[in-house]
Structure 1
Amino acid sequence: MTENITSVGGGGRPDAGVSALRGPTGAGAPAETRGRTTIANGVVAKIAGMAAREVPGIHNLGAGVARTLGAMRDRVPGAGGATAVTRGVKVEVGERQAAVDLDVVVEYGVSIVDIAGDVRTNVISAVERMTGLEVVEVNIAVDDVHLPDEEEGAESDEGRVR
């Protein structure tokens, strides 16, 4: 059995009449599919970062140095903002697919295997629902475990001697 594929424009490419995120384009296509939608890496990184932070047991995102610099940047008015959301998040975005790498800090006592699965599920769900991109992988690097008595970036004011 053979199928005839008709495309509108595009110089003979079989997928030339298909939008990257929707479907057929051209005069006979529904209005919402006419044209191309491009999603920037930063958009996917923000979505992934927010979705990862929503998972109970995730204390923070970012490797040690990035967290320290980010904490200092967050204290300066007007300097933190959007970078805090994407700290510890790297993405690669193609026309139809995305891959996500996360550096996370987990709370002490949680199952790292379980939390990694929960983070993957939440990130994939959020990115695919909001962007229409297929998430091909979510790689998670657990960089640290946050202990209950640790303060973020706080130096001890007490010395050994008084």
Structure 2
Amino acid sequence: MSDIINPTTGEKVPSAGKALTGESGAAAAPETRGRTTIADSVVEKIAGTAAREVPGIHSLGSGMSRTLGAVTDKVSGGRPSVSRGVKVEVGQRQAAVDLDVVVEYGVPIVDLAANVRTSVITAVERMTGLEIVEVNIAVDDVHLPDEQDDEGEGSRVQ
């Protein structure tokens, strides 16, 4: 770099390049080179998948949403929605998760809720970098061993 002459004093002044403005270009940290946004639906899918992996969770969603979802799944010929029963609020650095769950009969609900929270928090924070401030769990039903699944019921009309 060349020196600059101060016209008033005639003294040499070092140039103001990168030394005064901080790093830029290839030397800049990747996290300072743009913004990453994560859609609510992404966090819903991660949280829903993590919750379903916990032993003792039968399904997610309240009664009506499970029923409507089962019909929608049959019509579309697809798989169940992984985000059914999951609602999230996502900010720039934090997120909150609400889950509606159906538990298997005989599973201690308090222990199950702790396991679900741990699973969801771990998965979402690891995959997104967001801080999970809360995971609210609403237990909507208990699945009894002799009950038929809503998703497995056959239609009366074919």
8 A contact 1:26–1:34 mirrored in 2: no
Shift >3 Å, 4+ stretches? 25-28
Equivalence for 1:21: none
Instruction: Describe how 1:122-133 pairs up with structure 2 within 5 A.
Output: 122-133=119-130
Is 2:89 the counterpart of 1:92? yes
Shift of 1:33: 3.9
For 2:24 and 2:105, locate their aligned partners in 1 and report how far apart those are by CA, in whole Å.
Answer: 55
Shift of 1:26: 5.1
For 1:107 and 1:94, locate their aligned partners in 2 and report how far apart those are by CA, in whole Å.
Answer: 33
Instruction: Describe how 1:128-147 pairs up with structure 2 within 5 A.
Output: 128-147=125-144
Normalising by structure 1, we get a TM-score of 0.75
Normalising by structure 2, we get a TM-score of 0.77
Deviations 1:92-145 (A, max 9, x none): 000000000000000000000000000000000000000000000000000000
Instruction: Describe how 1:11-30 pairs up with structure 2 within 5 A.
Output: 27=25, 28-30=27-29
Percent identity, please: 72
8 A contact 1:57–1:115 mirrored in 2: yes
Task: Structure 2 unaligned segments of length 5 or more: list them.
Answer: 1-22
Deviations 1:53-94 (A, max 9, x none): 00000000000000001111111135x45x711100000000
Equivalence for 1:58: 57
Is 2:148 the counterpart of 1:151? yes
For 1:114 and 1:29, locate their aligned partners in 2 and report how far apart those are by CA, in whole Å.
Answer: 46
For 2:49 and 2:95, locate their aligned partners in 1 and report how far apart those are by CA, in whole Å.
Answer: 16
Larger of the two Rg values belongs to structure: 2
Between Structure 1 and Structure 2, how many residues are aligned?
130
Aligned-residue RMSD, C-alpha: 1.9
Shift of 1:32: 4.7
CA 1:26–1:43: 2 relative to 1, 3 Å: farther
For 2:50 and 2:24, locate their aligned partners in 1 and report how far apart those are by CA, in whole Å.
Answer: 35
